[in-house]
Structure formats: C-alpha cells, structure tokens
Amino acid sequence: MPAEQFYKTTLTNGIRILSEKVDSVHSVALGLWVLAGSNHETLETNGIAHMVEHMMFKGTRRRSAFRIANEIESLGGIINAFTSKNVTCYYLRLMSEHIGKGIDVLSDLMLNPLFKAEELQREKGVITEEIREIEDTPSDIIHDYFTQDIFPDHPLGWSVQGTVESINGLTADQLFGFVKEHYTADRILVAAAGMVEHDYLVDLVQKALGDRHGGNGEAELPQVGPVKKFQNVYPKPITQSHLVIGRRIFPQSDSRRYVLAMLNVILSGGMSSRLFHNIREKYGFVYAIYTFSDLYLTEGVFGVYAGMDPRKLDRVRELVFKELASLAEKTISKSELAKIREQFKGGMVLSLEGTQARMSRLAKMEIFEHNLMTIEQILQIVEAITVADIQDLAQYIYDRDMFVETVVQPA
C-alpha cells in the first residue's frame, strides 16, 4: 500500500487546509467544512444549520442558483452538501485541473449568500416535505425519537432537519446571524484528496478566504443532562413494530473507537454476524437488524435497531440482550478475532478507495481527533486489539440499566 501523503497548513486567520495527494487519480474531492451543525442551535432555531446549507445554493451576489450548479456540472463535476449534529460540509468532485473553479464556487457560497425571502419561503416547503417523508418512514423516524429520548432537552437530541414549526419560524436575518456567528475562519476547514498540490491549494484558499474574520474559537456546547425516561413508545398507523435499544458511550476522540468498530462487525457486520445469524436466520423474527454507533465531539451512542411483527417484540429484545450478554461474559475465540480483524481491515480499505471518502476521513480526523493517522497506523492499532479488549468493551456496554428503549409500534 503506497504511503499516504498528508499536508496541513493553517492560515493566519485560523482556516485549516488539509490535503492528501493520490497520484493514481486524475480528479480531486474538495470539501469546505464548517464547525456548525444542529448542536449549535436553540430550540427555537432548530433546523437553522440545515436551512443555511440549503439556502447557500439558492444564489449569491455573483451567481444564480442555476449557475452555481452549472459551473461545476459543465466541467463533469458534482457539487452537494450535508449537515450533521456537529458540522456542515459543502463538497464537490471534479477534474484536478479545475480545482481553482471549485474553490471559487465554494467560497462564493460562503461569502456572498443572498438568503432571499421568496427563496427562503420556497425552501421551507421543501424541508417540510423532507421532514414529513422521514416521519412517514418508521425505520427512519425511530432514530430521531431515540436520540430525543437519550439526549432529552439537548441539541444532540433534536432533529437536524428541525420541526415544521421551527423551520417555518426562521427569518433571513436569523440565517445571516447564524453564518456571522458560526462561519468564522477558526471554525472553517478545507480538505482535499486526489491529484492536488498542497501549496497551490493553500494559495487558492488564501486568495478566496484569507480575509474571512477569525472568530472566537470553537463554540461552547451545553452540558448533557440525565435521561428522563428509559422506555418510550410512539404509536403510528403502521403494521410493523420498530425497536431501538441503546446507551450513551464515549466520544469520537476515545481510543476505544477501534475496538467498538470491531464489536459492531461481530454483531452486525454482514450475514455471518451474530445478530443476523442468531435472530434473523435462526428464528426468522426480523428482516432488518443491525448495530450502530454515533460518536460526537463530547458524547457517543451505541445502539441496536430491529423491525419485527409486534408479537415478536419482547422475544427480539431478549435475544438482542442475550447476544450482548454473551460477548460480555465470554471471550471470543482467537480465530473469530482473526476473521473479524480481516473483515474490518478489508472494509476500511475498500471504503477508502474513493477520493471523496479520503477527503472526508481527513477532515473528520482533524475535527474530531486532532490527529492525522495513516491507514497503516490504524491497521497497526487494529492488529494489536485482543480478545480481552473486545470483552472489556462488551462488559462496559452491557449494563441493562443504562439502555434506553424506543419503540414505534402500530397504533
């Protein structure tokens, strides 16, 4: 495996620029990351980070909405964005010779948004439909309900999309205020992966964003309070029950994240995994079942999702806890560890075949871990994980008193 080539520069105003040169490609993935997500909202402005992301594409002082997309797509590229709990990312992929155009378009979105009232009103309708689509999909909405249950009265528990009421209350002035407060240089990161020369990238970003005001450092996030209710049921006009059981764990910066990744592989990494084999295949109780882990800046969550006939709910719940208890009480064999290790390593390497995945990985390592690690370094960490490490983490996770249960079931 060729050695990775990471480069990092911080401009005088605080903007961080990271790149990874991949000599075997002719394209570049470019992302403009902002440390501003739904975690930085109030209850009244819930959804504003996501709304800002949408509205950035509705026109600037230099470009119409059509021109923003057309200037990238006419070069064979793609442009898009996403908002999460902690960050918003505007990204594109295009041929490496057009990286200057990419920086120009992305910086224009950030520096010159219009947030026209008529466009804002139209986009409220679009996001309302997005919210309704999620609400009409029980396997999706249960995750929103679960985060609300496990982080009550906290931005981590709120939907990234907001509510119909909160987004309809947003004004253009609030959007401008959110950008002014959070889209500051010290909360901006530019990441690129592909055929990219770092010094050239730095020059482009310096010219485009070198005058961006510095800001006041990372935003202070509110403290997470205790769970209020550990069992929660949401009736819906549906025929299947949906279950999520999970608990709070450690943040992304915790070194146990690699052990956690392997634990997820053991439990739900494909058709040979324990949950799939012992619950779906052995009993036929579920169609979909999987574990998930969401690690944030200050908190983390581990959970299990399953969808089943309402009459099988209690049995499925107990079978899930049985599998978690088994991992906590009995060490896995060295042969299973070797299999899981290879499965994890293969999945990680395959997932990083594309430049966009590499760009995202680069940015997330800087944002969440403040440490740029090569694939080879991560593989060495994974090689050193023992059966005792797996069991120690399983014992930490398996505390039934810590688990929050969320059920969406037929009304």
Task: Report the distance separating Cα 250 and Cα 396, nearest Å.
Answer: 11
Please pick, among 20, 41, 53, 366, the residue that the annotation labels catalytic.
53
In terms of DSSP H, where are the helices of 276-354? Answer: 282-283, 313-329, 334-351
Tokens of 320: 């899930």
CA dihedral angle for residue 47, residue 52, residue 53, residue 58, rounded to 10 degrees: 130
Judged on CB neighbours under 10 Å (0-12, 13-18, 19+), 357 is middle
Task: Report the distance separating Cα 200 and Cα 138, nearest Å.
Answer: 47
Task: Report the distance separating Cα 253 and Cα 236, nearest Å.
Answer: 37
Task: Report the distance separating Cα 242 and Cα 324, nearest Å.
Answer: 19
Task: Report the distance separating Cα 96 and Cα 91, nearest Å.
Answer: 14
Is the Cα torsion angle 41, 43, 48, 49 positive or negative in sign?
A: positive
In terms of DSSP H, where are the helices of 1-74? Answer: 48-55, 65-73
What Å distances lie between residue 390 and 96, 260, 273, CA to CA? 42, 8, 15
Tokens of 136: 């009409």
How many Å is the maximal CA-CA distance in the chain? Answer: 63
- Are 48 and 41 within 8 A, CB to CB? yes
The amino acid occupying position 82 is F
- The answer to whether 133 is a known catalytic residue is no
The amino acid occupying position 320 is V
Known catalytic residues are 53
